[in-house]
Amino acid sequence: MCGRFVLAMPFNLLAEWLEANFDEQIGLDYRPRWNIAPTSRILAMRSYDGERRIEEYRWGLIPNWSKDIPKFSTHNARVETISTKPTFRHAFASGQRVLIPADGYYEWQVLGEPSKPVKQPWYMTSKDQLHLAFAGIYEPWSAHGPGGVKINTCSVITTTPGPDIGEIHDRQPVVLSRDTWDTWLDPETSVDETRALLSPAEIGTFDLRKVGSAVGNSRSEGEQLIEPL
């Protein structure tokens, strides 16, 4: 977790929900997506001197010291190692934090015998029908060499599962409540204060539904992916 998520709400409602500003091109380029996969471009919210802004990021953090895009997975950063793992520790220690909006996310439950496992996809969304805000960290990265491209990159922070998720998977994204957003986004907030926010979701946070296997193909798209079985 978290390997796929949904962001399909109309852009004007997204900006209103986040209470954020954005460049016009971001709004023009926005398209609803029901199967967002790692390494793709996603939207995240960052604070600039207290002003919330929606920007584009690569989902998969690239550390600032890296000469190339990592060959290993960096779309998730575990709470337990975020301050020690070389890939993530600079971003976390430097207060480089974002919120990643989502309508919901997918997880796969492993069923059956160990010799013949069956993976059942589930869709997790907010119990109160609002949206989700994942805690994330970001790192600006520049490709080395002449004309090196400059991009913003980010990772979703994951933790142990809350009561809603525990029987389905052993990880979950950190979901932040609205009253913690400003604290999380403020780069002056201490590491200890932010770490205190990185806890599993309380019982009743998620609405869960089994969905079809089509979501397993990253090329699959459309609202039908979240329809319950």
Looking up residue 37, the CATH number of its domain turns out to be 3.90.1680.10
Average pLDDT, the chain: 94
Average pLDDT over residues 196-212: 94
Active-site residue flag, 202: no
Q: Rounded to whole angstroms, how far apart are CA atoms 142 and 149?
A: 6
Active-site residue flag, 107: yes
* 145 pLDDT above the threshold of 70: no
Q: Coil, helix or strand for 85?
A: coil
Look-up of token digits 């699959």: 220
Q: Rounded to whole angstroms, how far apart are CA atoms 31 and 11?
A: 8
Average pLDDT over residues 199-216: 94
Residue 146's pLDDT band (boundaries 50, 70, 90)? low
Number of domains in the chain: 1
Range of the domain at 120: 4-226
pLDDT in tens, 43-67: 999 999 999 999 999 999 999 999 8
Catalytic hit among 24, 51, 80, 107: 107
Please report which helix (H) or strand (E) contains residue 105, including its range. Answer: strand 104-111
Q: Do 154 and 107 contact (CB within 8 A), yes or no?
A: no
Q: What is the pTM of this model?
A: 0.95
Catalytic hit among 2, 55, 139, 154: 2
Nearest to 108, CA basis, from 93, 96, 92, 124 = 124
Q: Rounded to whole angstroms, how far apart are CA atoms 125 and 228?
A: 12
Share of the chain above pLDDT 70, in %: 97
Lowest-confidence range among 32-41, 66-75, 146-155? 146-155
